[in-house]
Chains A and B, each alone.
Chain A
Amino acid sequence: MNTPEYHLKHVLLTWCGLQPNEYDGDTVLADMWNGQTGRNDYDPVGIKKLLDWLKADYIFGACQTALQIQDQDLGANGTLTTVLKLYLHLQNCGKNAQFRPTGPSTLK
């Protein structure tokens, strides 16, 4: 597991409560949120929460590519609709960083 992969999986876990073996690369982010919360408010609430978690993560929070993601990119007609698309977009964030022994600072 590489650094951006670990951090993305952790962000998704804290965001909607799903662990990595419960979704696939092609899983749509909106399905993850709507299925877990039972509400159909991925756009805008789920998107807002996902962006907040990404920005709070110490790898993605320091990554320009992650900071440039907008609500519309994650929306139904955006370009980052699935787990895999989001990873491919963020794959170079913190790529050369070492795992911090204490883990991401955002963990509770």
Chain B
Amino acid sequence: MKTALSFKCAILLGSAACACWPVLLVAQADKPSITSASIQQDHPLQMTVTVKNVKPQDVRGFMLFTSSGKLQLDAQKVLRLDAADVTSTFIQCTEPDPATFGKTVVYVVDLKQTLQQTSYVLVAVLASGDSPTVTIGPSITVEKRGDATGRYEIILKSAMPLGLTDGKKITLSRSEQVAGASAPRSEAYIGTVTAVAPDSVSVRLDHKLPAGQKSTLSITDPALGPIGTVDLAGVPQNESDAFILVKTNAVAAVHQAPVFTLSGSVAPWHPGVKAVWLGSTRFDPSVVFDVGLRSTKSQNSITVPAPFSITEYYRFTAEEPSTDPKSIQDLHSSRPVGFTFTFGPRYETDRTFQRVNLLGELRGDFYFPGLLHGATAVKARTLTSSPQLKSLLIGPTHGYEFVPYIELDGGGHVRTETVTNTKTKGTEMVPQYPIGRFNVGMTAKVDFTAWFHVSLDASLVDFFQEEQIGYTTRSDVAIRKLRGIHPHFKPDFTVNLDKARHWAIDVTWENGRSAPNFEYLNTVNSGIKVIY
């Protein structure tokens, strides 16, 4: 689709050969401004210019000036920048069809020749008479590519052409000053260009940069000078990235043996940066434990739930996206309904690994937009339409999320188990038997403040087959036989102790029966919760 913007060459070529432009000393939030201008690294004869707070047709064209960077007061005591107009030397024309994203418009300026390695001032000529400017120069910035390969893959960015192409080798130097040493120590890194995009150049280093430090790099080939700093310091993770979650509780009393409980989960590939995908299926193995010593009322279980999951989102709109490019603005947006299907083998055992259940697990979690009103999501929705509020927005701190689920487990108690009371020496034999369970329930999380939230897991389990669980009492051994429907209710009250939510005081009330031991519990546990 073409816009009304046409080629702007004519008005630019007639401009004066030398001019001075007033320096913009005061910037206002809604005033038009050029936020960036840079040569495309893969097309050195094209310059991308990003202008904010304008409409596409507002920009009449662009002018280019070389600048010494010196400021002077003229006769009218106006501060001016010395500059020479090189518009006709470099600028061919502005391409039609600038891209528009809200208040941001992206223009592409065709050049007659690529820019030299010096500083320029780019001026946007607006219909309103405004003339926002931006200074572009030969400086190079460097960023780590991301968390996964940030120690050996870096991204170079520059407003000027770097002249790098795929496969080209460059030599980088990392300098550091050791305390007491007379001169900085340098280490050479050979980098290979792996990708050249319009906005950046990706470089893979031959060996890793030191972890947890800042690295100051220079390019020695070609001799472009310092390129900046890569910060490889660790980044704190939030609760949703939890890799290890541990709740611990210890109680000691006079003349009584101490009671100790430990519950939580370990999921090494749960953090996003470590996610493992097999096509569209995520592999996220975990171990969930709830164990205790002596007279504790823990579940005394270790469970390895199904590790595979597929998440899909569906949008229910009145009209399907049209194939006509013009109609994209007319489409109704809608929040999608999500569904996570978890499947795979499930392993259940007790603390002594005597009782072993091997099952297949099928589970579906349903994410309905109306039930997901968490503080983070509400904040994200505000920032979507108003990203400029990012540094100002502090709320909301309260919200709720409810996620219904169903789960089907089938398999068997695969080992004949002998349960022994070590004091009375009484024994009971638990035979092998088939297992079939259907769970329906809901998990919930309600944030009351930034420091306090309540989470809940409430469910009903229906046993298709009778399950037998051997257990010991003070004086005997018994077998618990269960079938039919049984409820389980487990609210968890959490008070965060630090802003990153790594440490918290936790109070959990558990009422009902849950896999794999299905002992009826009505307990309250309090302790410290640690999430990393």
Contact = CB atoms under 8 A, between A and B. Distances in A.
A10 B327 CA distance: 11
A49 B96 CA distance: 32
Contact of B384 (A27, A40, A72, A107): A27
Given A39-B377, A89-B199, A103-B323, A32 B275 contact: no
A75 B146 contact: yes
A38 B335 contact: yes
B328 A91 contact: no
Contacts of A92: 40, 42-43, 197-198
B487 interface: no
Contacts of B98: 2
A24 to B, nearest CB: 3
Most buried by B among A14, A18, A104: A18
Nearest to B314: A17
Most buried by A among B102, B148, B277, B317: B102
Contacts, number: 242
Contact of B311 (A4, A38, A45, A102): A45
Contact of A84 (B106, B378, B382): B106
Given A37-B335, A39-B338, A70-B148, A65 B197 contact: yes
Interface residues of A, number: 70
B380 interface: yes
Given A18-B333, A37-B335, A38-B374, A71 B275 contact: yes
A62 interface: no
Given A26-B104, A28-B387, A35 B380 contact: yes
Contact of B321 (A14, A39, A41): A14
| Interface majority SS (helix, strand, loop, mixed), chain B | mixed
Interface in A15-31: 16-28, 30-31
Interface of B: 1, 3, 40, 42-43, 48, 50, 52, 97-104, 106, 108, 143-150, 155, 194-195, 197-200, 202, 235, 238, 240-241, 272-273, 275, 277, 280, 282, 311, 313, 315, 317, 320-325, 328-329, 331-336, 338, 367, 369, 371-374, 376-378, 380-388, 390, 401
Interface of A: 1-2, 4-6, 9-10, 13-14, 16-28, 30-45, 47-49, 52, 64-65, 68, 70-73, 75-79, 82-85, 87-89, 91-92, 99, 101-104, 107-108
